[in-house]
Amino acid sequence: MRASTLDLGALGRAPHLAAAGEQDTLPSRYRWPVQLLSLAAFTLAFFGWLNETWLFLFDNPIWLNRYTEYAIILTFGIWRIAAEMNAYTRRRLVILVAVVTGFWWFIPLLNPIYEPYVGFLWSQPVFPSLHVPGTLTFFLVLGLVFLFGRRVICGYGCPCVGIRETVGFAFRDRTPRSDWARKLRHTKWLFFVWYAGVLVVTQYPPNSWTLSFVSGFYLVVALTYFGTFFLAPLVGNRAYCRYLCPYGATFGLLNHAGFYDLKMDAARCIDCGRCEQACDMGIPVWQQGKAAGRVTGLEDCMGCARCVVSCPTDALEIRDLRNVFRPALRQDASHLLRRAAAPELPARVDSRAERLSLADIQSEAARCLDCGEPACRGACPLHNRIPEWLALAAKGEIEQAAALMHTTSPLPELCGALCPQDRLCEGACARVKQGHAAVAIGAVEHAVTEEAFARGWRPSLAPARRIDKSAAVIGAGPAGLAFAEAMNRAGWNVNVFDREPNVGGMLASGLPPFRFDKRALERRRILLEQAGIRFELGAAVDAERFIALRDRHEAVFLGLGARKARDVPLPGRELGGVQDALDYLARVNAASDQRRLAGKRVLVLGGGDTAMDCARAAIRDGAAEVCIAYRGTPDRLRGNRHECTAAAAEGVEFRFLHAPLAIEGESAV
């Protein structure tokens, strides 16, 4: 049974919940008051245009006319500039808001300047007439786009981009990125053909047909321009630019024809996927860059450079006319952000023997690249929100990081200490592709939870309300505890039964004490009891009691564990001194005498985690010599890499390509 409160998330990077005054390169998710405020601003801009063109409800007041949009851009622009965390994007926003406010609002409103026009003058255009085909400004912009790319207008001077970058920032995370969404981008070419027709017919005197043709074009442009405001919660903030804008289509063609280019150095790319996540136009930057060494979908690139500045390895660079005269110029993230080449961060802290200090937690967590498609999360069976809590830990927000860990993992302090990260999250870390050690995800996870507990923080495990349903959990191992917590969060009344006097199952009896502090299990039991879960320990459940529990509860969970040892059918298996791993480890956990094997030679068969536990426990039991015999090669060892390394460092001898045939001895080995 699966509780509805468990949010395992998606494989990709989920947008993190951001405060209103916080905006980063990757899309964020904002609370509904911020989204409602943005929609209200969109609505005001729309009614300003309606009032001046159709409704005429008010006599062209400054707060409700076609200039209302620019006032909104200025207001939200100040907010956005203050909230923006990326230095390059902040500078670009300053220019964008200043240009839109000055050239599109103040100059036309305070001192209208009429532009010269090439062709028959249908109506006198007011400077700046960037989108009116035939004005001098229009041709000047076309020339600049040819030389420097579409960013000279879409990145720094377009009011359409201005309102979507400022008011629409709350909806960046809604950009559709599927194949069908990308194919729909071709719809803008229909509007481009219409736009090209307007450029032609306006060279001649107007007649009834051409008047309808031109006025119909501008009406459709206005309706789609303002209409997509209200679709932003569904399709993101750039739907108009991506699918409908005829002006953007014109500039996009010049992106291909001119000097503008967006190149990728595949040797530097670590496949983190940040570039694709950062692109509000949904361009598959990483896919195209890896395939062709450059972004081939330049017609959609608006030159915001979010993909470039989001790249942690300077793999992406912008090229334009300047590269003709300065071939060595690299307009990569370091260049645009005006930063020195990032120094190599210290290697991971690889020991779990003692808890990391706060400084170690922060420095190790800061090594995370915050990949757009985090492979660590995809490799985690729980899909833990690893980049997000690493970011919190890097800032020293330990309690917040611990709380986020608990949203997907019921036992983060144990997972951090015991999970085979080298085969899962750390094995998928993008740092490895750089040739460096992976971020020590497990060590940070364990240290963060322990540090939070040491500060007095406790997770909120109690349900919002109770429902009239109950569940019995048989077995207080990790599976039983996880199920009990999930059902308790969902409001069920949960009773846990176990024949052992302590919780933890195999964690308590099958793992040696040096692997982790067993007191964490008792602490977790107390937390669950405080959340409303009832434990009955030291109580075996026989067939009769099982039937009674089944009749009394709506659900029964069997978390019985894998307590049956794997037998090795070798001659001499019955000799004295031969024992299976589970029995030996149970005695290790139960006994206080740590010198039971003093002076003895111990042979351990196998190469998994249990074999490493037995070998390292035997060393601590005083064995004179401990040897692991494994039938495979070193690269085939199934044990956790950290544990294998620790065993070798503690003096365990490894013999590879050794398959046992028999155990010899008279009455004992």
Instruction: Give 115-126 pLDDT, tens digit per residue.
Output: 888 777 777 788
For the ranges 97-101, 223-227, 297-301, 510-514, the lowest mean pLDDT is seen at: 510-514
Fold of 358-454: Fumarate Reductase Iron-sulfur Protein; Chain B, domain 2 (1.10.1060)
Average confidence score pLDDT of the chain: 88
d(CA 318, CA 372): 20
d(CA 134, CA 131): 9
Give me the phi and psi of 50, to 5 degrees please: -60, -40
* DSSP output for 536-561: EES----HHHHHHHHHH-SEEEE---
Half-sphere exposure of 382 (CA within 13 A, CB side): 18
Architecture of domain 581-656: 3-Layer(bba) Sandwich (3.50)
Q: Which residues contact 88 (CB under 8 A, 6 or more apart)?
A: 305, 309, 336, 337
In this prediction, residue 15 carries a pLDDT of: 61
Query: pLDDT tens-digit profile of 621-648?
Result: 888 899 999 999 998 888 888 889 889 9
Q: What is the 3-state secondary structure (H, E, C) of 477-508?
A: CHHHHHHHHHHHHCCCEEEEEECCCCCCCHHH
In this prediction, residue 354 carries a pLDDT of: 55
Q: How far is CA 485 from the centre of its chain?
A: 25
Matching residue, tokens 């377009």: 158
Q: Say whether pLDDT at 106 is over 60.
A: yes
> What token pair was written down for 612?
């490493």
Q: Say whether pLDDT at 21 is over 80.
A: no
Domain ranges of the chain: 258-336, 358-454, 470-558, 581-656
Q: What is the mean pLDDT of residues 138-151?
A: 93
Instruction: List the Cα angle 538/539/542 in 5-degree steps.
Output: 145
In this prediction, residue 352 carries a pLDDT of: 43
Q: What is the 3-state secondary structure (H, E, C) of 204-227?
A: CCCCHHHHHHHHHHHHHHHHHHHH
Cα–Cα distances (Å) from 311 to 276, 279, 365, in that order, read: 10, 12, 18
More confident residue, 339 or 355: 339
Band of pLDDT at residue 128, cut at 50, 70 and 90: confident
For residue 651, give the nearest of 601, 610, 576 by alpha carbon. 601
Sort 305 into a burial class: Cβ within 10 Å, 0-12 / 13-18 / 19+: buried
In this prediction, residue 576 carries a pLDDT of: 86
Q: What is the mean pLDDT of residues 49-57?
A: 86
More confident residue, 25 or 468: 468
More confident residue, 599 or 305: 305
Percentage with pLDDT > 70 across the chain: 94
In this prediction, residue 193 carries a pLDDT of: 95
Q: What is the mean pLDDT of residues 512-526?
A: 89
In this prediction, residue 528 carries a pLDDT of: 95
Give me the phi and psi of 653, to 5 degrees please: -90, 140
In this prediction, residue 11 carries a pLDDT of: 32
Q: CA torsion angle for 376, 377, 379, 384 (degrees, to 10)?
A: 120
For residue 353, give the nearest of 12, 74, 616 by alpha carbon. 616
* DSSP output for 565-618: PPP---TTTTSBT---HHHHHHHHHH-S---TTTT-EEEEE--SHHHHHHHHHH
Cβ atoms 88, 95 nearer than 8 A: no
Architecture of domain 470-558: 3-Layer(aba) Sandwich (3.40)
In this prediction, residue 285 carries a pLDDT of: 94
More confident residue, 343 or 324: 324
In this prediction, residue 446 carries a pLDDT of: 93
Q: Say whether pLDDT at 279 is over 80.
A: yes
Query: pLDDT tens-digit profile of 198-219?
Result: 988 888 888 999 999 999 999 9
Sort 444 into a burial class: Cβ within 10 Å, 0-12 / 13-18 / 19+: buried
Q: CA torsion angle for 290, 292, 293, 299 (degrees, to 10)?
A: -110
Q: Residue 473 in 3-state DSSP? A: strand
Query: pLDDT tens-digit profile of 330-351?
Result: 999 999 998 775 444 444 433 3
In this prediction, residue 5 carries a pLDDT of: 27
In this prediction, residue 212 carries a pLDDT of: 93
> What token pair was written down for 295?
């972004």
Query: pLDDT tens-digit profile of 538-556?
Result: 989 999 999 999 999 999 9
More confident residue, 593 or 369: 369
Cβ atoms 249, 277 nearer than 8 A: no
Indicate the pTM of the whole model: 0.69
Query: pLDDT tens-digit profile of 441-489?
Result: 999 999 999 999 999 999 999 998 999 999 999 999 999 999 999 999 9
Q: Which residues contact 222 (CB under 8 A, 6 or more apart)?
A: 49, 53
Task: Tally Cβ neighbours within 10 Å of residue 8.
Answer: 13
In this prediction, residue 134 carries a pLDDT of: 79
Strand 493-498 and strand 261-264: pairing?
A: unpaired
Rg, C-alpha atoms of the chain = 33
Task: Tally Cβ neighbours within 10 Å of residue 654.
Answer: 16
Fold of 258-336: Alpha-Beta Plaits (3.30.70)
Q: DSSP letter at 26?
A: S
For the ranges 39-43, 280-284, 436-440, the lowest mean pLDDT is seen at: 436-440
In this prediction, residue 569 carries a pLDDT of: 82
In this prediction, residue 426 carries a pLDDT of: 92
Query: pLDDT tens-digit profile of 163-200?
Result: 999 999 999 989 998 889 999 999 999 999 999 999 88
